[in-house]
Amino acid sequence: MSTRHADTFDLAKNQGRYMSSPEFTELRGICGTAVSTKAAMLVSARQRSLLYWLQSMFMEPGGRKKFVSDFLASYPERLGSPTMHKLGVKAGQVYRAEDAEQIQMELRLFRNKDRRVETFLDECRKQSATLEDFLLELCLNPKVEFQAPGETDVHLMLQRLEMQHLADIQETDFQNADVNYFKDIIPALFDFQKRYAENVRKNFVMTNIGQAAWDTLDFGLETGKMVVIEGDARLARKIHT
């Protein structure tokens, strides 16, 4: 039996232990390799683009929490269960007893006598705290399937066949990427991605060096060959093709 022990904790030699804390995990975002594993199984370029974009956004300052906060703030009108949106989500609205029961089932609530729309919206806001977990599942779990706007059921069938072949997933294992407290979560994510890209383009200024780098990257995409752009973060010194 070992009798060795340390009287003091050497912080300099044990800094890594703090990296397992939830605060640092959130700041690190999602592992790109893990996202790539699922993306590689997707036949849709638009679906792959969404996953890679989400992974990159989670690496921005503030991480997943800031992304979720900005996303929810951009679509306040989408909060609510399917029945709420079917009947209307207006201030001061009071649902009928049978409709309120259906909403409670959708939101998995215990029965209560308060049938006001504000009460249910408050519950939806509370449940939106789980959106981070939903996005992690969307990016990493091959069993969670989704479609880009405009994609058909035929495309979904082809996607399922690819997933079953590569990941040994059974037909009954697939889960639809959706939440009951937010209307059309997947179309909203694609729309948010589009808005983000439009804002980037609007604020982007192309320089001579930037144009040379983009032309080189386009060449790599068109030919499938490796290209190298050599330089520091602000100035490319050499471009090899």
Q: Give pLDDT tens digits for 125-169.
A: 999 999 999 999 999 999 999 999 999 888 888 888 888 887 778
The Cα–Cα gap between 39 and 46 comes to 10
Residue 37 lies in a domain: yes
Would 182 be classed as within a structural domain?
yes
The rounded distance, in Å, linking the Cα atoms of 21 and 66 is 18
Whether the pLDDT of residue 18 is over 60: the answer is no
Residue 101 lies in a domain: no
What is the chain's alpha carbon radius of gyration, rounded to the nearest angstrom?
Answer: 23
Asked if 155 and 240 sit in the same domain, the reply is no
pLDDT of residue 26: 56
183 and 212 both lie in a single domain: no
pLDDT beyond 60 at 213 = yes
Looking at the fold, whether 215 and 127 belong to one and the same domain comes out as no
Nearest 5°: phi and psi at 42?
A: -90, 135
Query: Which domain does 239 fall in, by range?
Result: 205-241
Q: Model confidence at 20, in pLDDT bands (50, 70, 90)? A: low
> For residue 115, is it within any domain?
no
The DSSP letter of residue 167 is H
Q: Please determine, for residue 3, whether its predicted confidence score (pLDDT) is greater than 60.
A: no
What value does the mean pLDDT take over residues 206-220? 83
Does residue 231 sit in the same domain as residue 131? Answer: no
181 within a domain of the structure (yes/no): yes
Q: Which of 86-100, 102-116, 144-158, 161-175 has the lowest mean pLDDT?
A: 161-175
Tokens for 53, please give them: 């974009």
Select the highest-mean-pLDDT range: 6-20, 121-135, 199-213.
Answer: 121-135
Do the domain assignments include residue 142?
A: yes
Note whether 167 and 214 are same-domain residues. no
Domains of the chain: total: 2
Looking at residue 12, its pLDDT comes to 52
Q: Tell me how far apart the alpha carbons of residues 160 and 41 are, in angstroms, rounded to a whole number.
A: 10
Burial class (CB in 10 A: 0-12, 13-18, 19+), 57: buried
CA angle 201, 205, 206 (to 5 degrees): 105
Rounded (10°) angle between helices 32-39 and 131-140? 60
Mean pLDDT score across all residues of the chain = 85
Whether residues 58 and 174 fall in one domain: yes
- Dmax over CA atoms of the chain, in Å, equals 71
Does residue 7 lie in a domain region? no
User: Same domain for 73 and 165?
Assistant: yes
Q: What is the pLDDT of residue 71?
A: 97
pLDDT of residue 233: 63
155 and 39 Cβ atoms separated by less than 8 Å: no
Together in a domain, 42 and 154 = yes
| Pair of tokens at residue 186 | 């997947």
Share above pLDDT 90 across residues of the chain, in percent, rounded to a whole number:
52
Together in a domain, 163 and 218 = no
* Rounded distance between C-alpha atoms, residue 69 and residue 78, angstroms: 14
Share of the chain above pLDDT 70, in %: 83
Look at residue 69 and tell me if it is in a domain.
yes
Q: The whole model's pTM is what?
A: 0.77
108: left (phi over 0), alpha (psi -120 to 50) or beta: left
Band (pLDDT 50/70/90 cuts) for residue 66 is very high
Taking the C-alpha atoms of residue 146 and residue 81, their distance in angstroms, rounded to an integer, is 19
Greatest mean pLDDT among 6-15, 28-37, 74-83 lies in: 74-83
Predicted pLDDT of residue 236:
47
Same domain, 219 and 131: no
pLDDT average, residue stretch 39-63: 93
What pLDDT does residue 222 have?
87
30/136 Cα distance (integer angstroms) = 8
Closest CA to 118 of 97, 95, 87: 95
- 227 and 148 housed in the same domain: no
H helix count then E strand count, the chain: 11, 4
133 and 237 within one domain: no
